[in-house]
Amino acid sequence: MRELVEKAAVLHEALPYIRRFHGQVFVVKYGGHAMLEPALRASFARDVVLMKLIGLHPIVVHGGGPQIDERLEQLGVRSERLDGLRVTDARTMQVVEMVLGGTLNQEIVSLVCAHGGRAVGLTGRDDGFVRAERIERMRTRSGREVDPGRVGRVREVRPELLRRLVEAGFIPVVAPIAVDDAGESLNVNADTVAGKVAEALGAAKLLLLTDAPGIRGRDGSVLSSLSAADAARLQADGVIDGGMIPKVACALEALEGGVGKVHVIDGRLQHAVLLELFTDRGVGTEIVRGPATATVGS
């Protein structure tokens, strides 16, 4: 009986959030360990299906760097790296499209459908809904400037296709491949695509799954909440570093573009999406536009 009462308490805690977010769009960037471990993959699929069933509208944007590396190796394709930056030449771009837009995208679609959802896989090439321009020069870790090849910067997201899919009851699963004005495919950072999709659809929230418990403050503790201004200061001071830098930059740009909140959460935790959205405590770091000062979480 005690266990049943505890389950009822969980549902009561979730109810205000379900009511508040009903009918709103949530963009989830899916990547890291959450894409690799079977238990986490199943947990993620159940989370987004449940979101849809209770009246929220999730849109999944996925990465796939490790899977691309594995496929390149299997095919014997040499992918040049310059100080950690992968140069995406024409052959490498073919593999990127094969993995991101083909195998991996359809695996996620099948997983969502297997857990009771209705999912549709697509890339930014479909209906040309993610438009980008080629990045001519990028800076490597050592400070060198190089031509990264078929790597793009998102210029525009045309949200009509996604809106139609959402309204028809589907969960869109988007691979981060864009198209330029010449009709050529461009490889685009998945965090960036997720942020731009969230902006274009006026999403209530953008959730970035990571392999970290959240954003850490000056004392090393995970922050449960911080303002955009706080995040910018921590980044400028070097407190936010490494792989968290592009995620925070993506979060700040999304907030500026009108997204309600951005959440950086640990994808290594089962049901991380539901725990962050529907519990008072949450399991990651939320970044908000307001002036609130950083709050330390557990």
- Domain ranges in the chain are 2-73+96-126+159-296
Residues 6+ apart with CB under 8 A from 289: 227, 228, 255
Euclidean distance between CA atoms 236 and 257, whole angstroms: 21
Confidence label for 7 from pLDDT (cuts 50, 70 and 90): low
State mean pLDDT over 136-152.
Answer: 81
Give the model's pLDDT for residue 164.
Answer: 97
Q: What's the farthest any 2 CA atoms get from each other in the chain? A: 64
Confidence label for 15 from pLDDT (cuts 50, 70 and 90): confident
Nearest to 24 by CA among 198, 209, 226: 198
Give the model's pLDDT for residue 81.
Answer: 67
Is residue 118's pLDDT more than 70? yes
Greater pLDDT, 31 or 173: 173
Of all helices (H) and strands (E), which one includes residue 251?
A: helix 244-256
The overall average pLDDT reported for the chain is: 89
Confidence label for 32 from pLDDT (cuts 50, 70 and 90): confident
Q: Which amino acid is at 159?
A: P
- What is the token pair recorded at 147? 């031509």
Give the model's pLDDT for residue 82.
Answer: 61
| 70 conformational bin, left if phi > 0, alpha if psi -120 to 50, beta if neither | alpha
Q: What is the pLDDT of residues 182-227, one digit of tens each?
A: 999 999 999 999 999 999 999 999 999 999 999 999 998 999 999 9
Give the model's pLDDT for residue 297.
Answer: 44
- Most confident of the following: 4-18, 151-165, 236-250, 275-289: 151-165
Euclidean distance between CA atoms 230 and 217, whole angstroms: 10
Greater pLDDT, 112 or 293: 112
Positive or negative, the CA dihedral 214, 217, 220, 221 is negative
Q: How many CB atoms lie within 10 A of CB 126?
A: 18
Domain 2-73+96-126+159-296 has CATH 3.40.1160.10: yes
Query: What is the number of residues in the chain?
Result: 298
| 242 conformational bin, left if phi > 0, alpha if psi -120 to 50, beta if neither | left
Are 173 and 119 spatial neighbours (Cβ–Cβ below 8 Å)? yes
Give the model's pLDDT for residue 49.
Answer: 97
Residues 6+ apart with CB under 8 A from 249: 235
Give the model's pLDDT for residue 73.
Answer: 87
Of all helices (H) and strands (E), which one includes residue 203?
A: none
Confidence label for 295 from pLDDT (cuts 50, 70 and 90): low
Give the model's pLDDT for residue 298.
Answer: 34
Q: What is the pLDDT of residues 65-92, one digit of tens each?
A: 888 888 988 988 877 766 556 788 889 9
Greater pLDDT, 35 or 118: 118
**Strand-by-strand arrangement of the 171-175 sheet:** 119-123, 171-175, 57-62, 25-30, 205-210, 261-266, 285-288, 223-227, 295-296
State mean pLDDT over 109-136.
Answer: 96
Confidence label for 101 from pLDDT (cuts 50, 70 and 90): very high
Q: What is the pTM of this model?
A: 0.91
